[in-house]
């Protein structure tokens, strides 16, 4: 897995170029956001179960059909799978967050997930919404801790949402 700096250096190395002003600005941005990213990852590590629980409860309130008979989260097995997947997305978002490189989500999560969800008939719409809700919960918890600059925190969640929304699958 790479981070924002090694990815940047790798690109410049392939081109055989010295780091220019744009590269230096990207590194400065990465470093300036380090404290917020670290605080967010520490929060996620400490509160992962609570974040997933709160986001899932908000999702069920918005879309109660998901947990009713016939819904994709109906039955204990399906509900457990939904919560497991939410935890999975949260964990990988924290990896991308600390690395400052959302493209790792393509390799580790998004590539192939689309086919898996299609074959299982899992609707990506509610999955995308659950990821956005987890971002909301994390940012609200950070705000409660006095951290209000959360654009960098939202970035990996938004990347996951865009990747999954591009191939929205309807429930069977």
pLDDT digits (tens, 9 = 90+) for 125-159: 999 999 999 999 999 999 999 999 999 999 999 99
In whole angstroms, give the CA distance from residue 58 to residue 60.
6
Please list the helix, strand and coil fractions of the chain in percent, rounded to the nearest 5, in that order. Answer: 80, 0, 20
User: What is the fold, at CATH topology level, of the domain defined by 34-165?
Assistant: Globin-like (1.10.490)
Q: How confident is the model at residue 115 (pLDDT cuts 50, 70, 90)?
A: confident
3-state secondary structure of 111: helix
Structural domain boundaries of the chain?
Answer: 1-32, 34-165
In whole angstroms, give the CA distance from residue 164 to residue 159.
9
pTM of the full predicted structure? Answer: 0.92
Q: Is the pLDDT of residue 23 over 80?
A: yes
In whole angstroms, give the CA distance from residue 61 to residue 154.
22
């Amino acid at each position: 897995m790479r981070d924002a700096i090694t990815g940047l250096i790798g690109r410049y190395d392939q081109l055989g170029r010295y780091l220019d002003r744009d590269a230096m600005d990207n590194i400065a941005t990465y470093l300036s956001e380090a404290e917020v990213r670290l605080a967010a990852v520490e929060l996620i590590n400490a509160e992962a179960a609570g974040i997933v629980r709160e986001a899932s409860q908000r999702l069920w309130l918005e879309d109660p059909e998901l947990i009713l008979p016939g819904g994709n989260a109906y039955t204990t097995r399906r509900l457990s799978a939904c919560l497991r997947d939410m935890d999975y997305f949260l964990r990988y978002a924290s990896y991308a967050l600390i690395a400052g490189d959302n493209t790792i989500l393509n390799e580790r999560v998004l590539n192939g997930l689309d086919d898996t969800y299609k074959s299982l008939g899992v609707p990506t719409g509610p999955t995308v919404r659950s990821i956005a809700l987890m971002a909301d919960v994390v940012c609200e918890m950070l705000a409660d801790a006095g951290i209000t600059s959360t654009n960098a925190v939202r970035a990996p969640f938004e990347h996951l949402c865009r990747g999954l929304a591009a191939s929205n699958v309807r429930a069977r």
